[in-house]
């Protein structure tokens, strides 16, 4: 059979011309005879051929012709404004006559090639609300380049931070593992400590039992000796009856009674007792409760202490000091509040006062560890951070121009003392700090004694003072009163403050026979004798006047006041150092107190009361507050007790 297409052609041709039809048929038959026989394959898309040769099937769309098509740029309002900026800048340069138009256009076209930069330049120029010139556009381009470079650096930094974060996570995991191991070791050590404590308790019980056995044996031995002595005494009495010349006897004649014979003890102890010197009752009364010592009582800790002037603690400043033999350092935190921590780094013990204050925290100069106002370590450079590491801190507050600290146990007193502020009408003229190599109690007793002034301070404030016939202190309260004949009011405020108000007839001259309130001009003094360490005192001195206010503004007046204070202190220091030396050698500075020692005696009785309170607590007795005692209980010695 012929293919369908050939049949259709043959039919069409045959319908028009029979001769042609026969020719085609003959030609086709001849071809069929010549061609070999082949299998007939039916075209699966033949049914679609009537719609066209390209209808149906799978064809790939050829879009190569689009490459040759000219591109059409769609101009928006924003793009027109960007182009107008260039034309406007060219026009401004042309009007200003700075550059030729073609030169300005060449530079601007170069800047416009980076479209992102040009958009930011457009935003910058439009916000400036100034003429669009070439210089303005170049400046905007420079800032845009800087901002883009910063953004690139930030992206890089973010990647670096991710790497650092992963590294820190690894370090934290390792630190947690080490921490767990350390905690297990700590638990083992604590268990071992408890075992040692139990062993120590058992040994203490054994020791006490052995002590009791020793005491019991001693008691039995003593009773045996006493029994033997009694036996010997009876035998010696019998012998004395037969041979009276061999033993010293004391015979007493009594009427209607037998003769009584007593043997004089022949032991050395009895002879020593008879020869021992006896102190008079007045001497015992005078020295009762007056005992000076170089030791600092623990009971003195439970007070607020003014450790520094507020003016001497500016921001970013470290002020080291000692209190009760312990090193401390003061500074101001990030809020400007005073803080006080131990002057010893928790890492290697380096003094923190050698470092500096960084954003309200103390940085150790050795390895850069930082500590806040609570003593907690907040930064450990070059090593994984460990929690719960820090140094001791003292409660700290600020009032009346002083920085106060509480070195005691437990919670501090709720309110700060209110006597440090100068009286009304007085202005502060001098604030001086001196480290004095004297026990603070001796220095306080020196300040509370005014009778020594005309003998000691002959080169300073008491020059020309006559020696009065008598000096007397009139106490109006337990620890305060006024002097006679000097117009001076004085008071002691626990634990270590001495206040005095001096009446002046005129600057530099003192009146006699009047009180301070009767004088026109006054000088007010506050001495703070803080116990820094054994045999040393941190002295804070504040002087205020109610006259001559202009003297505060005299140049170098602070140096003059310091020089005067150093001279007065030098006169006292020679004597007080001598007292301290004799006290270290076993002497006493309270052998025979005089009537004008009343205020110093009362201070020493208060001080000894604090010491006795500590002893009572250590002995297991319930604590009591010595300040709550009555004046009669605490200060029983007065002028009558001091009479010779």
Average pLDDT, 10 consecutive residues per value, the chain (644 residues): 48 46 44 54 62 59 71 61 80 81 83 81 78 81 82 73 85 88 86 83 73 60 54 46 37 37 37 41 55 83 94 95 96 95 96 96 96 95 92 95 91 84 92 94 91 84 77 77 84 92 75 80 93 94 91 88 88 90 87 86 86 62 47 40 39
Q: Is 446 within 8 Å of 572 (Cβ atoms)?
A: yes
Collapse the DSSP code of 110 into the 3-class scheme (helix H, G, I; strand E, B; otherwise coil) and give the result. Answer: helix
Instruction: Give the per-residue pLDDT at 526.
Output: 95
Instruction: Give the per-residue pLDDT at 269.
Output: 32
Domain range list for the chain: 83-212, 300-405, 427-619
b or e along 295-305 (b: 16 or more beta carbons within 10 Å of the residue's beta carbon)?
Answer: ebbbbbbbbbb
CA gap 307, 313 in Å, rounded: 11
The order of strands in the sheet holding 319-323 is: 319-323, 326-332, 338-342, 393-394
Instruction: Give the per-residue pLDDT at 42.
Output: 65
Collapse the DSSP code of 404 into the 3-class scheme (helix H, G, I; strand E, B; otherwise coil) and give the result. Answer: strand
Does domain 300-405 fall under CATH 1.10.3720.10? My reply is: no
Element (H, E) at 430: strand 427-436
Q: Which residues contact 597 (CB under 8 A, 6 or more apart)?
A: 449, 642
- Shortest CA distance to 352 belongs to which of 360, 361, 362, 367? 362
Instruction: Give the per-residue pLDDT at 366.
Output: 95
Instruction: Give the per-residue pLDDT at 208.
Output: 67
Cα-atom radius of gyration of the chain, to the nearest Å?
Answer: 54
Instruction: Give the per-residue pLDDT at 638.
Output: 45
Q: Is 410 within 8 Å of 466 (Cβ atoms)?
A: no
- Shortest CA distance to 330 belongs to which of 349, 347, 311? 311
Alpha carbon 60 to chain centroid distance? 81
CA gap 447, 436 in Å, rounded: 14
CA gap 340, 371 in Å, rounded: 11
What is the CATH T-level fold of the domain 427-619, as seen in this structure? Answer: Naphthalene 1,2-dioxygenase Alpha Subunit; Chain A, domain 1 (3.90.380)
CA gap 318, 365 in Å, rounded: 13
Q: Is 511 within 8 Å of 638 (Cβ atoms)?
A: no
**Kind of pairing, strands 377-379 and 370-371?**
antiparallel
Q: Which residues contact 261 (CB under 8 A, 6 or more apart)?
A: 237, 240, 241, 249, 250, 251
- Report angle CA 459, 463, 464 to the nearest 5 degrees: 145
């Amino acid at each position: 059979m012929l293919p369908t297409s050939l049949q259709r052609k043959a039919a069409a041709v045959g319908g028009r011309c029979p001769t042609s039809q026969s020719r085609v048929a003959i030609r086709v038959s001849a071809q069929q005879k010549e061609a070999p026989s082949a299998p007939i394959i039916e075209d699966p898309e033949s049914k679609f051929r009537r719609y066209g040769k390209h209808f149906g099937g799978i064809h790939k769309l050829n879009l190569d012709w689009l490459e040759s098509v000219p591109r059409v740029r769609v101009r928006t309002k924003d793009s027109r404004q960007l182009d107008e900026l260039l034309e406007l800048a060219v026009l401004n340069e042309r009007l200003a006559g700075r550059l030729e138009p073609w030169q300005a256009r060449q530079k601007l076209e170069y800047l416009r090639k980076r479209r992102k930069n040009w958009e930011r330049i457009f935003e910058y120029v439009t916000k400036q609300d100034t003429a669009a010139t070439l210089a303005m556009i170049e400046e905007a381009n420079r800032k845009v380049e800087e901002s883009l470079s910063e953004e690139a650096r930030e992206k890089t930094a973010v990647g670096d931070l991710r790497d650092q974060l992963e590294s820190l996570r690894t370090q934290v995991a390792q630190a947690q593992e080490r921490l767990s191991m350390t905690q297990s070791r700590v638990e083992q050590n604590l268990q071992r400590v408890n075992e040692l404590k139990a062993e120590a308790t058992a040994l203490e019980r054994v020791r006490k039992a052995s002590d009791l056995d020793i005491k019991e044996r001693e008691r039995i031995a003593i009773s045996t000796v006493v029994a033997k002595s009694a036996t010997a005494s009876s035998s010696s009495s019998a012998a004395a009856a037969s041979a009276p010349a061999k033993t010293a006897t004391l015979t007493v004649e009594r009427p209607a009674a037998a003769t009584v014979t007593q043997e004089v003890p022949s032991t050395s102890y009895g002879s020593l007792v008879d020869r021992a010197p006896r102190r008079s009752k007045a001497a015992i009364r005078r020295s009762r409760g007056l005992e000076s010592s170089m030791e600092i009582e623990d009971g003195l800790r439970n007070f607020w202490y003014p450790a520094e002037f507020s003016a001497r603690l500016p921001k970013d400043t470290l002020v080291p000091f000692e209190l009760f033999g312990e090193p401390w350092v003061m500074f101001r935190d990030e809020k400007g509040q005073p803080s006080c921590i131990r002057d010893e780094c928790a890492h290697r013990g380096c003094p923190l006062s050698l470092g500096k204050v960084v954003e309200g925290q103390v940085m150790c100069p050795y390895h850069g560890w930082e500590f806040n106002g609570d003593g907690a370590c907040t930064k450990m450079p070059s090593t994984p951070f460990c929690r719960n590491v820090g140094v001791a801190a003292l409660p700290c507050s600020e009032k009346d121009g002083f920085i106060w600290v509480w070195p005691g146990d437990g919670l501090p007193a709720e309110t700060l003392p209110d006597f440090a502020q100068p009286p009304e009408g007085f202005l502060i003229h001098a604030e001086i700090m001196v480290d004095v190599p004297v026990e603070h109690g001796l220095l306080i007793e020196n300040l509370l004694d005014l009778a020594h002034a005309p003998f000691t301070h002959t080169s300073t404030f008491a020059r020309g003072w006559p020696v009065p016939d008598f000096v007397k202190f009139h106490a109006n309260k337990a620890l305060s009163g006024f002097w006679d004949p000097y117009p001076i009011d004085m008071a002691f405020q626990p634990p270590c403050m001495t206040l005095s108000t001096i009446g002046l007839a005129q600057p530099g001259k003192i009146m006699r026979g009047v009180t301070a309130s009767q004088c026109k001009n006054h000088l007010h003094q506050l001495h703070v004798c803080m116990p820094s360490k054994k045999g040393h005192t941190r002295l804070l001195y504040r002087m205020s006047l109610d006259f001559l206010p202009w003297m505060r503004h005299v140049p170098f007046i602070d140096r003059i006041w310091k020089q005067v204070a150093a001279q007065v202190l030098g006169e006292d220091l020679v004597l007080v150092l001598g007292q301290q030396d004799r006290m270290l050698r076993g002497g006493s500075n309270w052998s025979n107190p005089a009537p004008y020692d009343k205020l110093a005696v009362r201070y020493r009785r208060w001080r000894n009361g604090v010491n006795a309170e500590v002893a009572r607590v250590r002995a297991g007795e319930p604590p009591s507050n010595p300040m709550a005692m009555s004046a009669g209980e605490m200060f029983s010695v007065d002028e009558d007790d001091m009479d010779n």
